[in-house]
């Protein structure tokens, strides 16, 4: 009984602290659509998410759609997530490693793929052939669009 009371008390304290964690939501390919292009999010390893400070989650089918939304939006962003395409792990955008090649397949043909670390990115580049290893800073400087 003491364990249950202690657990309840800890949960109560966490709930009362008001601290939001802003964790990514799982993708449901049956209902989730990209907020930019309105396409179904069926290629889950390429999915990205933005969580606003009010808890609203915006989902995108391609990192290019997410960046396009970020460049136009004035909303208060708490967290930005991408996925490691090798294993589906969610990573904060700022901590990910990226590979770019205009010929890489991505849902909206932006050609940018995200990874949790440089090792995964290099393995992907070896398997796919050409590609450029990018940091978050390089990603921010990229000229987004279909005709690059």
Q: What is the 3-state secondary structure (H, E, C) of 41-107?
A: CCCHHHCEEEEECCCCEEEECCHHHHHHHHHHCCCCEEEEEEECCCCCCEEEHHHCEEEECCCCCCC
Domain around 70: 22-141
Per the structure, the count of domains in the chain is 1
Which tokens go with 145?
């669009």
pLDDT at 87: 95
22 has a pLDDT exceeding 90: yes
Average pLDDT, the chain: 88
6 has a pLDDT exceeding 90: no
pLDDT at 77: 97
pLDDT at 95: 97
Domain assignment of residue 109, yes or no: yes
Greater pLDDT, 143 or 67: 67
Q: Which of 93, 97, 94, 82 is nearest to 45 (CA)?
A: 82
- Of 2-16, 35-49, 132-146, least confident by mean pLDDT is 2-16
147 has a pLDDT exceeding 90: no
76 has a pLDDT exceeding 90: yes
Which tokens go with 26?
């799982």
Q: In whole angstroms, what is the distance from residue 2 CA to residue 16 CA?
A: 21
Domain assignment of residue 147, yes or no: no
Domain assignment of residue 3, yes or no: no
Domain assignment of residue 4, yes or no: no
CA angle 65, 111, 91 (to 5 degrees): 65
pLDDT tens digit sequence for 119-142: 999 999 999 988 999 999 999 888
Domain assignment of residue 5, yes or no: no
Domain assignment of residue 46, yes or no: yes
What's the pLDDT band for 42 if we cut at 50, 70, 90? very high
Domain assignment of residue 12, yes or no: no
Domain assignment of residue 122, yes or no: yes
């Amino acid at each position: 009984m003491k364990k249950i009371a202690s657990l309840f008390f800890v949960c109560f304290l966490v709930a009362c602290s008001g601290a939001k964690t802003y964790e990514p939501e799982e993708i449901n390919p049956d209902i989730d659509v990209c907020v930019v292009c309105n396409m179904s999010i069926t290629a889950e390893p390429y999915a990205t998410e933005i969580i606003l400070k009010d808890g609203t989650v915006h989902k995108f089918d391609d990192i290019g759609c997410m960046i396009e939304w970020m460049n136009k939006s004035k909303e208060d962003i708490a967290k930005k997530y991408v996925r490691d395409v090798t294993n589906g792990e969610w990573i904060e955008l700022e901590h990910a490693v990226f590979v770019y090649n205009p010929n890489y397949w991505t849902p909206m043909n932006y050609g940018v793929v995200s990874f949790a670390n440089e090792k995964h990115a290099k393995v992907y580049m070896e398997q796919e052939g050409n590609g450029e290893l990018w940091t978050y800073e390089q990603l921010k400087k990229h000229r987004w669009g279909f005709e690059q």
